[in-house]
Amino acid sequence: MIDAPRRVRTPDFTIAMVVPLQGTAGLFGPSCEAMSELVVRDLNRDGGILGREVKAVLVDGGDEPGRVAAEVGTLISQGRIDAVTGWHISSVRHALAPVVADRVPYVYPALYEGGETRGGIYCGGETPRLQIEPALRWMRENLGSRRWFVVGDDYVWPRRSSVAVQTFARELDLDIVGQAFVDLGDHKIKQVIAKIANTDCDGVLMLLVGHDAVAFNRCFAEAGLDQRLVRFTPFMDENMVMASGAAATANLFVSASYFRSLVDANSMDLTSRYYALHGAGGPPISVVSESCYEGGYLLANLIERAGSAAVADIDAAMDGMAYEGPRGTVEFRGRRAHQAVHLAAGNGLDLEIVTTLAPLG
């Protein structure tokens, strides 16, 4: 009798999903974890990555950035992960970059300040030029908002985005009449609210994250400022809106490439699959959690296009790549992602799309 040849099992393709499970961004954790489960299931349904079954390891991106980087570095050194993605703030990305760059592919799908060029780091999120500038233009032309006060958390994304806002203000003939930055997670924003109340502005541009934005929205409404000033932010997800409360969302505008209220085949397909997996009682789909799906999906598309998970191969293959995901079409021109950006307005406990600011083109 001849023994049948043993089937050699292909090793899994394991992704570190870096998502916040604590801190000011911790309210995104349950939605991010649930969406990570969905993208792993969908990738395996479609054959995995390079024919390998996809698995995910959760890393708490809400921890101190140096500790997050050390944990991911250990996972890479031990050969336990093949790639990194997930939603986390830019200060975590900057800590991860020297640990991850050129070792395993790292897809960063969240909105960010732009300018990331380090090897092996692939950014798929919105940047200020595509997300903030057209929103300020629309609000000037449709609401007459010309005088802005900028408030942000004190770390890299708000700081660098505020510099870009100064450029946009000159281009659009707007005035930045004041700005203030608060410590991330401090929530001490009542002094900022008082300063805004005494400033001659038409609107407030918010560059705040998670619970900081929630606290700001509540205090803003309690001071009655929501009735005479608009708020615009490039970062406000559905979890933050619900935590703020329906009474704190009047005259609130948000720009992003995806909203839960987006009605097209791609986004509705995501919603259908998500609720089929998690049921109606699952964590809410949100702008942030969609980034976790987008990160896994972009990672798979990059690797399949390159035919390899090697950073050098992906770098050579990414220019001109395009794919269809929940945000619609995403195109890469060089290393820059281009995608449609929409403007939504607060409507009770949700965000309803008002217009498309920057169609892909």
Is residue 204 one of the residues assigned to a domain? Answer: yes
Residue 270 to residue 156: CA distance in whole angstroms = 31
* Strand 230-233 versus strand 336-338 pairing type: unpaired
Question: Which pLDDT tens digit goes with each residue over 76-108?
Answer: 999 999 999 999 999 999 999 999 988 999 999
Give Cα 196 distance to the centre of its chain.
Answer: 27
Residues 254 and 147 in one domain: yes
- Tell me the pLDDT band of 322, cut-offs 50, 70 and 90: very high
Is residue 55 one of the residues assigned to a domain? Answer: yes
> Taking phi first (over 0 means left), then psi (-120 to 50 degrees means alpha), and beta for anything else, what does residue 104 get?
beta
How many domains is the chain built from?
2
**Mean pLDDT computed over 59-82:** 97
Confidence check: pLDDT of 6 > 70: no
Give Cα 5 distance to the centre of its chain.
Answer: 47
Residues 323 and 290 in one domain: yes
Question: Which pLDDT tens digit goes with each residue over 182-201?
Answer: 999 876 788 999 999 999 99
Angle between helices 65-77 and 90-100 (to 10 degrees): 30
Closest CA to 102 of 315, 334, 352: 315
Q: What is the predicted pLDDT for the residue at 175?
A: 98
Is residue 182 one of the residues assigned to a domain? Answer: yes
Is residue 1 one of the residues assigned to a domain? Answer: no
Is residue 351 one of the residues assigned to a domain? Answer: yes
Long-range CB contact pairs, 1-8, < 8 A, 24+: none
Is residue 187 one of the residues assigned to a domain? Answer: yes
The CATH number of residue 21's host domain is 3.40.50.2300
Residues 143 and 254 in one domain: yes
Is residue 122 one of the residues assigned to a domain? Answer: yes
Residues 207 and 170 in one domain: yes
Q: Dihedrals φ, ψ of 352, to 5°? A: -110, 130
For tokens 């292909």, name the residue: 10
Residues 168 and 242 in one domain: yes
Range of the domain at 66: 13-126+263-339
Residue 207 to residue 193: CA distance in whole angstroms = 14
Helix (H) or strand (E) holding 302: helix 287-306
Token pair of 323, please? 């794919």
Length in residues, the chain: 361
What is the identity of the amino acid at 270? L
Please report, for residues 156, 161, 191, the alpha-carbon distance to residue 327 in angstroms, rounded to integers and kept in the order given: 25, 22, 37
Confidence check: pLDDT of 62 > 50: yes
Residues 53 and 19 in one domain: yes
For tokens 């200020």, name the residue: 128
Residues 335 and 351 in one domain: no
Residues 290 and 248 in one domain: no
Residues 214 and 178 in one domain: yes
Residues 204 and 167 in one domain: yes
Closest CA to 259 of 232, 228, 283, 235: 235
Residues 251 and 164 in one domain: yes
Residues 347 and 205 in one domain: yes
Q: What is the predicted pLDDT for the residue at 361?
A: 61
What is the identity of the amino acid at 170? R
Is residue 3 one of the residues assigned to a domain? Answer: no
DSSP-based three-state secondary structure for 98: helix
Question: Which pLDDT tens digit goes with each residue over 136-175?
Answer: 999 999 999 999 999 999 999 999 999 999 999 999 999 9
